[in-house]
Amino acid sequence: MVITASCASDSTNHPASAPAGSPARAAPRTASFRVEVTGHGPPMILIPGLASSGDTWTTTVERLRDRYTCHVLTLAGFAGVPPIQGPLLPAVEAELARYIEAQRLARPVIVGHSLGGELALEFAADHPALVGPLVIVDSLPFLGVVVNATTAEDAKPTIEKIRAGMGAQTQAQYEAVTRSGAMTKSMVATPADHQRLIGWGVASDRTTVAEAFLALLGTDLRPKLERITGPVLVIGTWIGWSAGPGAPGRETFLQTFHDQYASLRQLHFVMSETAHHFVMFDELPWFLGQLDGFLADPDAAVRDRGFPAQ
């Protein structure tokens, strides 16, 4: 069973199921995300990252669709989905809450990659009664650390400089930079997957991408983590970000994950030793093994936080 729909406030636009073999059905209005629903069983929501398609999760869904009903999102303005007016991330959070209630999804598992992981964390902190276990793939509660900020306030001057530079960029310049692959080369291990990221980026709305990225840099979810009540699997990477002289090594990344997730009460952390940012592309069997092990008994998994003794 596969259904596609655009999320809007009218709950009639969110079919929960359809007869096997029925054609895909699209809702008449476009809002903050598009949904494709596949499989049967308990609900799972999968959210991709910045400028990424829901196809991020294709191989993951192939593994899970016999056990879960997978609701795969592609956010507005990303990978060919039309953009919306106004800030994207608050709109996604509000509409996702309405979607879960309209579909009567009972505490769905939420899986989020990168930006999708931050969305999942904030959603779980703001709506703890609506969600089940979380799987956060290579995402940090405070991304501002990448611009050497220690707080959201510290990040503001850098954010404004980046906003000015991005704002001066023309569409042609955006496409040229995206096609060059300079910003995405370290995120995947193979040329074919890199071309996939480039294609998604070119098909994304540059204003939406810029504003979503800057919103992530300026948002610090660390104070909210203690409000998340359910078990959380966090999957980290390091090798893709550690190329070149002077680049941070594994221990730096391990410490960063440890420190940023310190206030999350129920956590199990694992680190891939070989995958780049798109773990589900680079190390699919390992990724699926971590996912299966956690989902088999999330409460048991979080008895071990997964970090070396400090």
Residue 266: inside a domain: yes
Q: Is-contact 148 115, C-beta < 8 A?
A: no
Query: What torsion do the CA atoms of 78, 233, 143, 204 make, to the nearest 10 degrees?
Result: -10
Q: How many domains does the chain have?
A: 1
Residue 30: inside a domain: yes
Angle separating helix axes 206-217 and 152-167, nearest 10 degrees: 160
Residue 260: inside a domain: yes
Q: Is-contact 294 230, C-beta < 8 A?
A: no
- The DSSP secondary structure of the chain, one letter per residue, reads -EEEEE--SSGGG------TTPPP---S---SEEEEEEE-SSEEEEE--TT--GGGGHHHHHHHTTTSEEEEEEETTSTTPPP-SS-HHHHHHHHHHHHHHHHT--S-EEEEETHHHHHHHHHHHH-GGG---EEEES--SBGGGGGT-SSHHHHHHHHHHHHHHHHT--HHHHHHHHHHTTTTGGG-SSHHHHHHHHHHHHTS-HHHHHHHHHHHHT-B-GGGGGG--S-EEEEE--GGG--STT---HHHHHHHHHHHTTT-SSEEEEE-SS--S-HHHHTHHHHHHHHHHHHH-HHHHTTS--SPP-
Give the chain's end-to-end CA distance (angstroms, integer).
Answer: 47
- Burial of 193 per CB tally in 10 Å (0-12, 13-18, 19+): middle
Residue 307: inside a domain: no
> Who wins on pLDDT, 256 or 22?
256
Residue pLDDT, tens place only, 119-149? 999 999 999 999 999 999 999 999 999 899 9
Spatial separation of the C-alpha atoms in residues 68 and 41, rounded to whole Å: 4
Residue pLDDT, tens place only, 50-79? 999 999 999 999 999 999 999 999 999 999
Q: Report which residue type is found at 80.
A: G
Spatial separation of the C-alpha atoms in residues 132 and 123, rounded to whole Å: 11
Residue pLDDT, tens place only, 72-87? 999 999 999 999 999 9
Residue pLDDT, tens place only, 106-121? 999 999 999 999 999 9
Can you give the pTM of this predicted structure?
A: 0.91
Residue pLDDT, tens place only, 225-266? 999 999 999 999 999 988 766 778 899 999 999 999 999 999
Q: Region 9-31: what's the mean pLDDT?
A: 39
Residue 308: inside a domain: no
Whether 32 has a pLDDT exceeding 90, the answer reads yes
Residue 126: inside a domain: yes
Whether 157 has a pLDDT exceeding 90, the answer reads yes
Band of residue 21 on the pLDDT scale cut at 50, 70, 90? very low
The parent domain of residue 120 ranges over 2-301
Residue 6 is predicted with a pLDDT of 55
Whether 26 has a pLDDT exceeding 80, the answer reads no
Please report, for the domain that includes residue 236, its CATH number: 3.40.50.1820
Residue 167 is predicted with a pLDDT of 87
Q: Is-contact 45 111, C-beta < 8 A?
A: yes
- Of 297, 298, 276, the closest CA to residue 287 belongs to 276
Residue 310: inside a domain: no
Whether 9 has a pLDDT exceeding 70, the answer reads no
Of the chain, the percentage scoring pLDDT greater than 70 comes to 89
Whether 23 has a pLDDT exceeding 70, the answer reads no
Mean pLDDT of the chain: 90
Whether 201 has a pLDDT exceeding 90, the answer reads yes
Q: Report which residue type is found at 129.
A: A
Residue 306: inside a domain: no
Residue 310 is predicted with a pLDDT of 64
Angle CA 58–59–62, to nearest 5: 90
Q: How large is the greatest C-alpha to C-alpha distance in the chain, in angstroms? A: 56
- Of 97, 118, 116, 93, the closest CA to residue 108 belongs to 97
